[in-house]
Structure 1
Amino acid sequence: MRLSNKKKAPVYNFFNTLLLMMLSAGIIGFILDEMRFNILEGNSYFLIIIPLILLGIYHINGRQIFEYDSDGEALHFRNRNIVPFFSKPLSDEFPKYKLMKFEMVNVLFLRRLYITISSKNSGSTILKYEISYLTSKEANDLKVSLNKVIKANKEKDIKNK
């Protein structure tokens, strides 16, 4: 199964640009209000604070683009930001039989995927992906696909014993 929200990148770019323009306009409005007009009096700081908070929430949500591919014998996970210098893109590929378990964590507007894979050196490794920008249907499809892989791994373990 393949899952990707890469087609929504223009929408994410639009919102990022819109928030940056709001911040720029807020800074200009703040400067003009403080130096010349003084219409808002002490409330002119909100012209900068509100766009900063919105931009912060947008980027705290994590990497916007998530790609998953379970076709073949390996699982591919890719997670990247639309603005390349904000965070390093994640790209992991490992055989399906190494997948031990996964967990999706929802906290307010944040959603994370934790994948536990088996490792020769340390026993297990936890990989973290940010899936806040996936729709609930896409997240459920991802959950179903990962459950299928785990179920197939358990059946192979039972047959091998």
Structure 2
Amino acid sequence: MRLSNRNKTSVYSFLTTLLFMFSICGVGAYILEEFKFNVLGRESLLLVAIPLILVVLNYLKGRHIFEYDSDGEALHFRNRNIIPFLARPLSDEFPKYKLLKFEIIDIFFIKRLYVTISSKNSGSTILKYEISYLTRKEVNDLKFSLNKVVKANNEKKS
């Protein structure tokens, strides 16, 4: 099964650009308010605070693009951000038989996928992927596919 939200890159790019422009306009409006108009008083800090909070929330939500491929004998996960310098892209590929378990954590607007794989050196390794930008249907498809692999692995062990 292949799962990807790469086709939404232009939407995420537009929203990120809009947030940064909103932040720059907010800083400009704050500077004009403080040194020229002085109408709002203390509320002028909201001109900077609200856009800054939105940018931070966008950053905390995680990497925008998630790709998953379970075709063949290997699982391939890719997780990258639209803005390359914000976060290093993740790319992992390993055989299906190494998948031990997975867990999806959903806290407010942040979703994370934790995949536990078997490892020669330490016994098991946990890989973390940010899936906040996937739709509910895409998350359900991902759960279904990973459950199928875990179930097949457990049957082989028994």
Q: Under a length normalisation based on structure 1, what TM-score does the superposition of the two structures give?
A: 0.97
| Separation of aligned partners in 2, 1:116 and 1:131 | 16
Q: Secondary structure at the match of 1:126?
A: strand
Residue 67 in structure 1 maps to residue 64 in structure 2: no
d(CA) in 2 for partners of 1:76 and 1:147?
A: 15
Amino acid in structure 1 at the alignment position of 2:122: S
Structure 1 stretches lacking a partner, 5+ long: none
1:46-70 deviation digits (Å, cap 9, x = unpaired):
1000000001001100001000000
Q: For residues 96-126 of structure 1, give each alpha carbon's deviation from its aligned partner in whole angstroms, at most 9, with x where no partner exists.
A: 0000000000111110000000011110000
SS at match of 1:68: strand
Kindly indicate whether residue 157 of structure 2 is the aligned counterpart of residue 157 of structure 1.
Answer: yes
Aligned partner letter, 1:42: R
Partner of 2:101: 101
Counting aligned pairs with the same residue, the percent is 65
Partner-residue secondary structure (3-state), 1:72? coil
User: 1:19-52: per-residue Cα shift (whole Å, max 9, x none)?
Assistant: 1111011111011111111111221111000000
**Runs of 4 or more above 4 Å deviation:** none
What is the number of equivalent residue pairs in this alignment?
158
In structure 1, give the amino acid aligned to 2:154: K
- What is aligned with 1:23? 23
Task: Decide which moves more: 149-158 or 126-135.
Answer: 149-158
What amino acid maps onto 2:134 in structure 1?
L
In 2, Cα distance between equivalents of 1:12 and 1:76: 23
Distance apart, 1:153 and its partner CA: 1.0
Deviation at 1:152, TM superposition (A): 1.1
Who is 1:144 aligned against? 144
Tell me the distance in 2 between the aligned counterparts of 1:65 and 1:32.
37
With normalisation by structure 2, the TM-score equals: 0.98
Aligned AA for 1:136? R
Structure 1 counterpart of 2:33, one-letter code: D
Equivalent positions of 1:5-154 (< 5 A) are 5-154=5-154
DSSP 3-state at the match of 2:93: strand
Match of 1:128, SS state, is strand
